[in-house]
């Protein structure tokens, strides 16, 4: 029988190799993952829906001989559909919403040989940078159980950090891969907009959302991306997009990169010393590798950045909640969504089409700014977060704000309150995560790399952002950093 200490020494790629050459049996790998889940999930609340019995049955079949054959994997319980299973979206509204189809991405994961063992926790509709939904309760950070895992892929990150699986699915609409990766000491890449299919949806959040995985190693992330990218019937990207095409974007004769870095918040707030120290540590590593690194100033209008991201966010929450109301009835939805979600929905009802279009045009403005900036730099480096991992409960509103939301919803005041109130309400939370949304707006690939732990023993990620379709360049740099500052053996003592 495989021991947990043996299991934890292997990433997903190695597990599949060992199964393929006969050194490991797929059943013992699965049972080791399940045993670890049974042991630690009650402490961290990462898995909200286990598929243990279904996985045991499935693994008896002839698995596809892909790069992750027999590897236990968890799926984020948001957006992605698995036929015959509930997609809960972190809300009580969808707890009986059984999928009638399997999404394109999950089909591709199956073709890679992955064995799905459950669904992971997420904030309601993935709206917050912490995983504390009312429907399922909070996920707790394995490095310190009083701290948040980040969000919205917090359940996936917690499960990986705790050693249940070597990788898990994730999605990123404003930092939801990179923030949990940073909080939990893991590697997280948000791919270039559109290269990973989101079918049966053409786009998610007007293209702001990219789906991928969080992992312990760069090579696992790279292999999943190589097997995931490409069009489906719903895609808006060219048929020619493939891993080979991405790899060709890298100038193989150029081994040294021009990297500009900043520790200045894109929203103008303070950045914690630990996060600054993490970037300075990365500067030293990069210079030691021979890369050109310089401090830069970005000409980013913080008010425009907040508003154009928040406007699209508000519009899509309104659309999603409106769709649920059409399916389940307004009273049921209002009674079962969280107060903040309903509040955003109500504000979105007064969001006119012209305002939506103007905000979307600002996305193009920011894309142009970054395209111009990349004429002189290959990559932008910054902290992933402006603060170390925050406490459970810290990213929610105060008791007073919660009371205001409930009162506004009850009296329908939320339908007449200005969207500026929502911006003011969300600003303290956004100030903690000011670096991630820009890449969602511009569609650029971005990654959080775990290169630094503070004196309290908490991981602090460093973010790198590249030109669109420079995913292979980012992964190449991450592999370099992984060699000189390895993090695989840095695991929480659970």
The answer to whether residues 334 and 232 belong to one domain is: no
Q: Does the model's pTM come out above 0.75? A: yes
The answer to whether residues 117 and 195 belong to one domain is: yes
Mean pLDDT across the chain: 93
> Residue 202 has what pLDDT?
76
Closest CA to 364 of 260, 435, 443: 443
pLDDT band at 425 (very low <50, low <70, confident <90, very high): confident
Residue 65 domain-assigned (yes or no): yes
Do the beta carbons of residue 18 and residue 10 sit within 8 Å? yes
The answer to whether residues 176 and 317 belong to one domain is: no
Residue 297 domain-assigned (yes or no): no
> Residue 282 has what pLDDT?
98
> Residue 428 has what pLDDT?
83
> Residue 176 has what pLDDT?
98
Residue 134 domain-assigned (yes or no): yes
The answer to whether residues 97 and 38 belong to one domain is: yes
Closest CA to 282 of 291, 49, 441: 291
Phi and psi, residue 118, nearest 5°: 160, 180
> Residue 236 has what pLDDT?
65
Do the beta carbons of residue 251 and residue 477 sit within 8 Å? no
Secondary element (H or E) of residue 32: helix 26-44
Tokens encoding 281: 């540590």
% pLDDT > 90, the chain: 81
pLDDT band at 449 (very low <50, low <70, confident <90, very high): very high
Residue 391 domain-assigned (yes or no): no
pLDDT digits (tens, 9 = 90+) for 199-212: 888 788 999 999 99
pLDDT digits (tens, 9 = 90+) for 333-363: 999 999 999 999 998 988 888 988 999 999 9
Domain containing 119 — which CATH number?
3.90.1300.10
Which one-letter DSSP state was computed for residue 390? P
Q: Residue written as tokens 């508000």? A: 314
Coil/strand/helix, residue 415: helix
Do the beta carbons of residue 258 and residue 376 sit within 8 Å? yes
The answer to whether residues 349 and 425 belong to one domain is: yes
The answer to whether residues 234 and 310 belong to one domain is: no
Residue 248 domain-assigned (yes or no): yes
Question: Highest mean pLDDT: which of 199-203, 412-416, 434-438?
Answer: 434-438
CA-CA-CA-CA dihedral for 475, 481, 483, 489, to nearest 10: -100
Tokens encoding 388: 């170390």
The answer to whether residue 254 scores a pLDDT higher than 70 is no
The answer to whether residues 355 and 474 belong to one domain is: no
DSSP string over 210-278: EEEEEESSHHHHHHHHHHH-S--TT--S-TT--HHHHHHTS-TT--S-EEEE--S-TTS----HHHHHH
> Residue 416 has what pLDDT?
64
Q: What angle do CA 473, 474, 480 make, to 5 degrees?
A: 90
CA-CA-CA-CA dihedral for 349, 352, 353, 354, to nearest 10: -160
Q: What is the largest CA-CA distance in the chain?
A: 65
The answer to whether residue 418 scores a pLDDT higher than 90 is no
Give the torsion sign (CA, 18, 213, 101, 54): positive
Residue 284 domain-assigned (yes or no): no
Enclosing domain of residue 307 = 302-376+396-430
Do the beta carbons of residue 434 and residue 267 sit within 8 Å? yes
The answer to whether residues 183 and 55 belong to one domain is: yes
Closest CA to 292 of 367, 381, 384, 369: 381
3-state helix, strand, coil in the chain (%, to 5): 45, 15, 40
Do the beta carbons of residue 155 and residue 121 sit within 8 Å? yes
Residue 462 domain-assigned (yes or no): no
pLDDT digits (tens, 9 = 90+) for 281-322: 999 999 999 999 999 999 899 999 998 998 888 999 999 999
The answer to whether residues 182 and 100 belong to one domain is: yes
Tokens encoding 396: 């929610």
The answer to whether residue 55 scores a pLDDT higher than 60 is yes
The answer to whether residues 249 and 312 belong to one domain is: no
Residue 463 domain-assigned (yes or no): no
The answer to whether residues 199 and 250 belong to one domain is: yes
What is the total count of domains within the chain? 2
> Residue 263 has what pLDDT?
98
The answer to whether residues 425 and 474 belong to one domain is: no
């Amino acid at each position: 029988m495989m021991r947990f200490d043996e299991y934890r020494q292997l990433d997903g790629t190695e597990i599949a190799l060992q199964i393929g050459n006969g050194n490991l049996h797929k059943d013992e790998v699965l049972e080791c993952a399940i045993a670890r889940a049974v042991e630690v999930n009650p402490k961290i609340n990462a898995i909200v829906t286990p598929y243990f019995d279904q996985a045991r049955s499935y693994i008896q079949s002839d698995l596809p001989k892909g790069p992750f054959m027999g590897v236990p994997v968890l799926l984020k319980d948001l957006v992605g559909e698995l036929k015959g299973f509930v997609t809960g979206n972190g809300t009580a509204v969808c707890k009986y919403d059984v999928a009638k189809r399997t999404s394109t991405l999950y089909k591709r994961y199956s073709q890679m040989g992955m064995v799905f063992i459950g669904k992971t926790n997420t904030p309601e509709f993935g709206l917050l940078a912490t995983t504390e939904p009312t429907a399922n309760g909070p996920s707790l950070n394995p490095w310190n159980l009083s701290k948040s895992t980040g969000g919205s892929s917090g359940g996936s990150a917690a499960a990986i950090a705790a050693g249940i699986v070597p990788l898990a699915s994730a999605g990123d609409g404003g930092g939801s891969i990179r923030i949990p990766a940073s909080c939990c000491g893991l590697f997280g890449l948000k791919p270039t907009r559109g290269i990973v299919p989101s079918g049966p949806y053409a786009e998610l959040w007007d293209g702001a959302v990219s789906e991928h995985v969080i992992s312990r190693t760069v090579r696992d992330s790279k292999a999943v991306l190589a097997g995931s990218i490409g069009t489906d019937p719903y895609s808006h990207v060219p048929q020619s997009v493939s891993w080979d095409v991405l790899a060709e974007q890298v100038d193989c004769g150029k081994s040294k990169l021009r990297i500009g870095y900043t520790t200045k918040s894109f929203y103008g707030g303070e950045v914690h010393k630990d996060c600054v120290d993490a970037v300075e540590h990365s500067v030293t590593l990069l210079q030691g590798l021979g890369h050109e690194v310089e401090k830069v100033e970005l000409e980013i209008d913080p008010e425009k950045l907040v508003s154009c991201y928040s406007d699209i966010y508000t519009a899509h929450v309104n659309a999603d909640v409106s769709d649920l109301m059409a399916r389940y009835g307004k009273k049921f939805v209002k009674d079962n969504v969280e107060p903040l979600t309903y509040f955003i929905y109500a504000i979105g009802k007064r969001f006119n089409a012209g305002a939506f279009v103007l905000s979307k045009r600002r996305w193009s403005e920011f894309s142009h700014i970054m395209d111009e900036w990349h004429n002189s730099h290959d990559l932008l480096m910054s902290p992933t977060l402006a603060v170390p991992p925050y406490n459970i409960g810290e990213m929610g509103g105060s008791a007073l704000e919660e009371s205001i939301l409930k009162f506004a919803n009850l009296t329908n005041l939320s339908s007449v309150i200005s969207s500026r109130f929502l911006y003011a309400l969300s600003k303290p939370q956004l100030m903690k995560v000011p670096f991630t949304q820009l890449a969602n707006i511009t569609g650029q690939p971005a990654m959080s790399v775990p290169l630094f732990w503070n004196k309290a023993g908490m991981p602090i990620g460093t973010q790198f952002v590249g030109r669109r379709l420079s995913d292979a360049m980012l992964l190449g740099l991450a592999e370099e950093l992984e060699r000189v500052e390895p993090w695989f053996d840095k695991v929480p003592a659970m």
